[in-house]
Amino acid sequence: MHLPAFVRRLGLLLRGRRAERELAQEMELHLELLEGQLREQGLDPREARRQARIAFGSRESLRAEARDAPGFVRTRELLEDVRHSLKSLSRNPGFALVAVAVLAMGIGATIAIFSVLSAMLLRPVPFPDGQRIVSLAWNHGDTVSPSLSSAKFAYWREHTSSFVAIGSWQPFFGRVGEPGEVTGAQGLRVTDGFFRVLGTPPTVGRAFSAEEHRSGGPPVALVSPDFWRMHFGESVDVSGRVSVRVEEERYAVVGLLPEGFTFPYVARPVEIVIPTEVFVDPEDEAQNWTTLARLDVGVAMRDARTEVVWLNHGFKAAYPQQAGEPEPGMMLGSFGELYAGRTANAIWILMGAVAAVLLIACANVGSLFLARALRRRRELAIHNALGATEGRIIRLGVVEALVVASAAGAIGAVFAVWGAGALVVLAPVRLPLTGAIAVDWRVGVFAIGISLAASVAVGLIGAWPGVRGGPWKALRRDSRTTTGSGRLQEALVSGQAALSMILLVGAGLLFTTWSNLRQVDPGFDPNALVAVQLPIRPPTYDTSERLERFARGVIEAVRAGGAGIVAGASSLPFERGLNFPISIAGRGEFGGSVELRTVTPGYFRTLAIPLIRGRSFTAMDVRGAVPVAIVNETFARRYFPGGDAIGQRIDLGRRGNVYRYPSLKGPGIVIVGVAADVQDVSFRTAVRRTLYLPQAQAPDVIAGIRPTLPVFVVRSSQPLERIERGFREAILTVDPALPGPRVFPLSETVADSLARERFGTILVSLFGALALILTVVGVYSTLAQAVRVRRREIGIRMAVGANGDAVLRLIVVRGLTPVAIGIGFGLVGAVVLSGLLEAYLWGVTGTDAGTLGMAAVGILGVAAIACWIPAREAARVDPARVLSSS
Amino acid sequence: MTPANDRLHGHLDLLILSSLAGGPMHGWAIAQRLGILSERVLEVGQGSIYPALRRLEAAGRISAKVAVSEAGRRARFYSLTAAGRRQLEAERDEWVDFAAAVQRVLDGV
Query: Regarding predicted confidence, which is higher, A14 or A510?
Result: A510
DSSP A839-859: GG-SSS-TT-HHHHHHHHHHH
**Can you tell me the mean pLDDT for A449-465?**
81
| pLDDT given for residue A464 in this prediction | 67
CATH number of the structural domain spanning residue B31? 1.10.10.10
Q: What is the pLDDT of residue A30?
A: 86
Q: What is the pLDDT of residue A220?
A: 93
Q: State residue A471's pLDDT score.
A: 45
CB contact under 8 A, B45 and A27: no
In percent, the amount of chain A with pLDDT more than 90 equals 19
On the question of pLDDT at A44 being above 80, the answer is yes
By C-alpha distance, which of A563, A525, A501 is closest to A727?
A563
Tens of pLDDT, residue by residue over A243-252, are 888 877 889 9
CB contacts of A70 in chain B (<8 Å) are 55, 58-59
Residue A857 confidence (pLDDT): 95
What residues in A contact B65, CB-CB < 8 Å? none
**Lowest pLDDT segment from A10-14, A105-109, A421-425, A547-551:** A10-14
Q: Give the mean pLDDT of chain A.
A: 82
**B10 — contact with chain A (CB < 8 Å)?**
no
* pLDDT for res A669: 94
Distance between CA atoms of residues A828 and A498, nearest Å = 9
Indicate yes or no: CB of B38 within 8 angstroms of CB of A55: yes
Label residue A254 by pLDDT band (50, 70, 90). Answer: very high
* Whether pLDDT at A474 is above 60: no
Q: A562-579, pLDDT tens digit by residue?
A: 778 899 998 887 776 777
C-beta atoms of A29 and B55 within 8 A: no
Nearest alpha carbon to residue A547 among A666, A663, A651, A697: A697
The pLDDT value recorded for residue A312 is 86
pLDDT range class, residue A488, cuts 50, 70, 90 = confident
Contact A56 B45 (CB under 8 A): yes
Q: What is the dihedral of CA B89, B92, B97, B102, to 10 degrees?
A: 170
pTM: 0.66
pLDDT digits (tens, 9 = 90+) for A607-643: 999 999 999 999 999 888 999 999 999 999 989 998 8
Q: Calculate the alpha carbon distances from A754 to A299, A517, A749 in Å.
A: 44, 8, 9
pLDDT, average across residues A192-215: 86
% pLDDT > 70, chain A: 85
The gap from C-alpha B86 to its chain's centroid, in whole angstroms, comes to: 14
Prediction ipTM score? 0.84
Strand residue runs (E) in B4-84:
25-26, 62-68, 74-80
Look at A519 and A825; give whichever has higher pLDDT: A825
Asked if B59's CB is within 8 angstroms of A57's CB, the reply is no
pLDDT at A357: 92
- pLDDT over 50 at A337, yes or no: yes
Taking each helix axis as running N to C, give the angle between helix A441-469 and helix A93-117, from 0 to 180 degrees, rounded to the nearest 10: 140
Least confident range from A59-63, A730-734, A766-770: namely: A59-63
Who contacts A833 (Cβ-Cβ below 8 Å, separation ≥6)?
Answer: A502, A506
Which of B9, B40, B43, B54 has the highest number of chain A CBs within 10 A, making it the mutation to test binding with A? B54
Q: Is A22 close to B76, i.e. CB distance below 8 A?
A: yes
Ranges of H-type helices in A376-440:
377-385, 390-426
Q: Is the pLDDT of residue B100 over 70?
A: yes
pLDDT for position B51: 83
Is pLDDT at A719 greater than 80 in this prediction? yes
pLDDT interval class at A148 (50, 70, 90) = confident
Domain tally, chain B:
1
Domain residue limits at B97 = 3-107
pLDDT one-digit tens code per residue, A306-331: 898 888 888 888 887 776 555 678 88
The most confident of A395-409, A519-533, A815-829, by mean pLDDT: A815-829
Give mean pLDDT, residues B76-88. 90
Quick one: CA dihedral A127, A128, A129, A133, positive or negative? negative
Q: Shortest Cα distance from B56 to chain A (angstroms)?
A: 9
The alpha-carbon gap from B105 to the nearest alpha carbon of chain A, in Å, equals 35
